[in-house]
Structure formats: structure tokens, C-alpha cells
Chain A
């Protein structure tokens, strides 16, 4: 079967750095997305990785290792507004988007 694993919940302090991991087992791979979802709202796009390595975009960076079936989302200089769920989603060989259940990130002052 196809599977995306992410921690259910993480807690971090305002101003700190947090890394949210995602591991996947899918039938093929055509890219990996990270989306941010605030409570009761729709997911919004953060990043897309299809090649190995680190993609940096402001305070957010996303890393991919295809050989390990692993990605992480790195959030720097955390702000209270970063409290949200972060969803990892993988495109499989059929171009279907397979979603993880998301990691709920709680930021404390």
C-alpha cells in the first residue's frame, strides 16, 4: 500500500527552529509537496521538491532524499502565526496525490 508518515504533533518556541519530517512509501515518485493548513481553513502551497536537495524559500526550507523516501520542512525564526498543520503529499507513478495526515505544530511564546 501507499503510506505517508509524519509526526502527529510537535511543539516549538517562538523564534526557534523546527524540522518536520515526512517519510513515504509510494508506487513511484513524481514529486513531493508541503502544504500549510490553519485550523478550519484550506491548505495553502508551501513548496515542491522533485530533485534531491534543499530548496530554500525565506524562513521555510524543504529537503528531499528520494533514495531514502524522506523529506523535511524546516521552519526558522518561528512566529505565532506559524501555528498550523503541515501536510506532506507525494505524487505517485499514476500522478495521484497521496496525502499525509499532517503534523500539528504548536508555537509557544
Chain B
């Protein structure tokens, strides 16, 4: 089945220790998104890619970076995680980023910072 896959589902890291979250998709969609979602809050868009065209949201901290080496894979790098970065990180895709298109989400990676 075509899907969005995120690994790992749970990630524990230490304060200040770099961590990378990964996302892959078999939907062959052009657009990939990274969201941060804290408990009982709306998902917050961090980045999105249209193909390899990178779009950084204005209020995304410099501590967060992203890479999309090919159509299928996208990575979220957190250079120096702080306690406030503990959250669920959701990867999503859409076919072409048009208004009416559904976003398909992966299961998320829950990040815990110790």
C-alpha cells in the first residue's frame, strides 16, 4: 500500500545532542511537509518542499534544518535539541500542493528530550 513512513516512532535524545528524524513516501507526491505538534495544540508547519524547492516558514527556529535528497525521502535535523523541542513531529505529503489536495500524514515521531 502506498504510504508515508516515519522512523523511528519514538526518539529519545539528550539536551543539545543532534538528532535526525526521517520520512519516506511511496505515494510519488511532489510536496513534503514537516510539522511540529505539541500536546493539545495545532500542528505547526516547519518546512515544506515542492520537489527539491525548499520553503522555510518565517518563524521556524534556526535549530531546525531539513534535507530532501530525492523525491521519496525527507529528513528533519535538530541541531541542538532543547527541552521545548519535545513534541510529535509529523511528516506529510500532497500530490502538487494545490489548495484542494488532501495532505497524507505519516504516523509521526514522538521526540523526548532529556
Which residue numbers of A lie inside 8 Å of B, CB to CB?
Answer: 4, 8, 30-31, 33, 40-45, 48, 50, 87, 91, 95-97, 99-102, 104
CB of B60 closer than 8 Å to a CB of A: no
When the two chains form their complex, are residues A87 and B42 in contact, meaning their CB atoms are under 8 A apart? yes
Docked CA distance A4–B106 (Å): 24
Interface size on B, as a range, is 20 to 34
What residues on A are CB-neighbors of B88 within 8 Å? 40
Taken together as a complex, chains A and B put the C-alpha atoms of A33 and B44 apart, in Å, by: 16
Do A48 and B100 touch (CB < 8 A)? yes
The verdict on A95 contacting B108 (CB below 8 Å), with A4-B42, A45-B102 known, is: no
Please pick, from B44, B45, B97, B105, the residue contacting A43 in the complex, using a CB distance under 8 A: B105
**B68-96 interface bits toward A, Cβ cutoff 8 Å, 1 = contact, 0 = none:** 00000000000000000000101010000
CA distance A91 to B97 in the complex (A): 11
Q: Which residue of A lies closest to B42 (CB)?
A: A99
Tell me, in angstroms, the Cα distance from A91 to B103 when the chains sit together: 12
Rounded to whole angstroms, the CA-CA distance of A95 and B42 in the bound complex is: 17
- Residues B90 and A95 in contact, CB atoms below 8 Å apart: no
Q: A17–B91 Cα gap in the complex (Å)?
A: 32
Instruction: Tell me the complex Cα distance, A31–B92, Å.
Output: 18
| Contact, CB under 8 Å: B99 / A45 | no
B30 CB to nearest A CB, Å: 14
CB neighbors of A among B15-55 (8 A): 40-45
7 closest Cβ contacts across the A-B interface?
Answer: A42-B105, A99-B42, A30-B99, A45-B102, A101-B42, A91-B99, A31-B99
CB <8 Å contact, B100 and A97: no
CB contact under 8 A between A42 and B102, given known A87-B42, A102-B40, A104-B40: no
CA distance A87 to B40 in the complex (A): 10
Whether B108 pairs with A42 at a CB distance below 8 angstroms is yes
A97 partner, pick from B45, B90, B110, beta carbons under 8 A: B45
Q: How far does the Cβ of B42 sit from chain A's closest Cβ, in whole Å?
A: 4
